[in-house]
Structures are given as structure tokens and as C-alpha cells.
Amino acid sequence: MLYLDNNATTRPSPAAVEAAREAMVELWENPSSVHRAGQQVRARVELARQSIATLIGAKPRELVLTSSGTEAVHLAIQGVLGAARSAGSNPPLLVTSPVEHSAGRELAKELEGRGDARLCWLAVDRDGVVDVSQLERLLEAGERPALVSVQWANNETGVVQPVERLAAVCNAHGVPFHCDAVQWVGKEPTKVGAGGLDCALLSLSAHKFHGLKGCGALYIRRGVRLRPVNPGTQELGRRAGTESVPSILAAGAAAAEAHAWLSASDFPDQREALLARRDRFERRVLEACPGASINGGGAPRLWNTSNIGFPRLEAEAILLALSERGLCASAGAACASGSLEPSPVLLAMGLDPAIAHGSVRLSLCRQTTEAELDRAVEVLASCVAQLRSSTSAAVGDPGAGGTAAR
């Protein structure tokens, strides 16, 4: 199997698997229990929290452990807007972008639809980079959003947003800034606070950096007002529910490994090599598949993400063909009733629907080899050529009853 779908999830590392096994076999007691066994589990949970905090340069008490990145994003947005409503802002203003992950984008629409928020969508350019000057003009005109929420790196294209500038603009006007860093953390060095990304909130997810599904986290800067979405006694009253200890301990192990890799003296050289590997892979795909294009290719991007458009083909057909050949990839769209809708992210970037319909995402991890990428180019080129041939035949043969794939 050629696995190039690491933005969807990563293979759990051996250390993460062992930590989860230990939690299930030896540390299965409830960490909220006052007896010694429960408190031993609690101690391990707090060590994992420390490890995750170290990965982003935060203090352990600044982290709320959640069940996922989506829950962390929801807690940030709903929590801050809920506190604003309690303080008399009805409805509060949320500033975000149309290229956010659906966890934030669809939540924003839902909040607006039920009257719990007003929305301001930041414009993006052809590469999907937000217009910081629009936010500056909004704030200079006297608007005071309850929250600005923008992702650090796009999950579909890998495009990196100017979050440092966004945070600086927000801080200058006393506006909280939330950064959805689910795709960033574990791939690039991260430091919150002074000397790093001075955001009010930052969300992450462990299974994006070789942990297990079931553990995310939300960093909350001291002093940020947040109303719990699901009140309870866990997480200093900011989240209810017995902790998923296997997922949390696995997250701690994965975070320690990621921090060791990102803080190694040779990481800058490794990063350059990873970027060169991605660029070489993309060049070979474009050479093998004339007419293909890199979506977001004009902006800084994560070293691991390639979103490639194949005009007049359907992403669903490409992905099924790749899967039959053992290559796992993805598309920024959802299947519904047998049809593949184009990605809202790509459409927001102004892409021709014919390209958006035929765009697929291939995402690497730090263990992906040159040999695997060479094989992926061969498989992708073969599948695209076969699909193009089939489409041309259907268009040219009146008896085939087919039409060109959009």
C-alpha cells in the first residue's frame, strides 16, 4: 500500500501504540478517582499534558484536552462567542475565512443561522491566502469582533496563512485570535505566546502527528474569557467527560517524538530536503500529466501537501482508480448520492469548477520515501491517462451515451 493521505490521519508511532496499550492494560482506572490507582493514572495524564504543552511552547495549565481537533475548534469558537453573549454582545461578530476546515466553516454558518453570531468572511486570493488588510480596515472602522478565527495551514492545499500578522493586528485592537493549527502542529516548530504566535487560542489534534484518534487540545491564553460548551468537573471545569487515557497517553508519546524531531539541530536541513522532495514529486506529476496544475502553488505551503487539479476528470474516479492500484489519497470534497461536489475551499479560491471537480490531495509524512513517491507518480500518471482515454472515447462515440466528466 502507498499511503499518501497523511492530512486525513497518520500511522500511530510504535511509542504511541505502546503508550495506549499500557493505558488499556495497566492504567485502566479512572483518573478522577481519589484512590492511589486512580491518582497514578492522573499523574500519567498530566505528564502527557506536559508533553503536548512542550510541543507548542505552552504551560500545561493552559491546555484543555479534548476528544479531537474538531472539538477543540468548536470549544474555541463557541466558548469565546458564548462569553461575549453573556457580556451583552448580541449577536457577537465572528471573523473567519471561507477556506477554513469544515469544523470551523460549517460551525460559523450554523451559529449565524440560529442568530448566535454575525459573520464577516475574509477574502482570499487565488492561492487561498487571506486578505489581512481587510481585517485591518474592519478594525480601524471601529468594529470589535468577539473573535477572529483562521487556520495556520490549510488541510486541503497546505497553504500557510499569515497568522503572525493576523495575531499582531488582533492584539493591537484587543481582539482575541484563534488559530486552527491542526495541520501545522507536529510538522513545523510551534511556539505560542511572546516570541512566537501570540494568539489567544490554538487548536491541535494528535492523530495528525502520529498519535491516536481521540485526543485533541485547545491552548487558552491566560485571561481569555471562555464559556464551556459542555460544562463539567474535568479540565478545570472547562470540559466534561472522563478522559480517554489511551488516546491521551499516546498523544503525549507522539508529541515527545515530534518535539525531538522539530528541535533537532539538523531539522532546518531536513525541512529543506522535505520541501525539495515535495517539489520534485509535483514536477514529475505535472510532466507525466500535461494540463495538471498545483492548487495553491503560488503561496508558501506545508512541506507535505500537494493538491493537484486534473481538468475534465472527476476526483472520485481518480481516487477509485488509485485505490485499485494500492495508492491512498483524498479529495477536499464529500461524496453524496454517488456524485462528488467540488471543494468549497477550492471554489472560494476562484478555481474553475472543472479543475475543482478533478482535484486530489496527496499528503506525505516525514517517513515517506523517495521510492514511494516515484511509485506514486507512476500509478497516478497511469490512472489519469486511462481515465482521460475513457472520457475521450465516451465523448467521441455517440453510441456510448456518455458525456465528458466535468
Alpha helices for 223-352 (secondary structure H): 245-262, 267-288, 315-324, 344-348
* Dist CA 214 CA 207 (whole Å): 8
**Number of Cβ atoms within 10 Å of the Cβ of 373:** 22
Check if 199 is active-site.
Answer: no
* Dist CA 389 CA 395 (whole Å): 10
Catalytic residue (one of 199, 215, 289, 335): 335
Cell of 91: 449577536
* Dist CA 157 CA 140 (whole Å): 31
**Residue 54 backbone dihedrals phi, psi, to 5 degrees:** -60, -35
Residue 288 CB-density burial (10 A; 0-12 exposed, 13-18 middle, 19+ buried): middle
Question: Which residues participate in catalysis according to the annotation?
Answer: 335
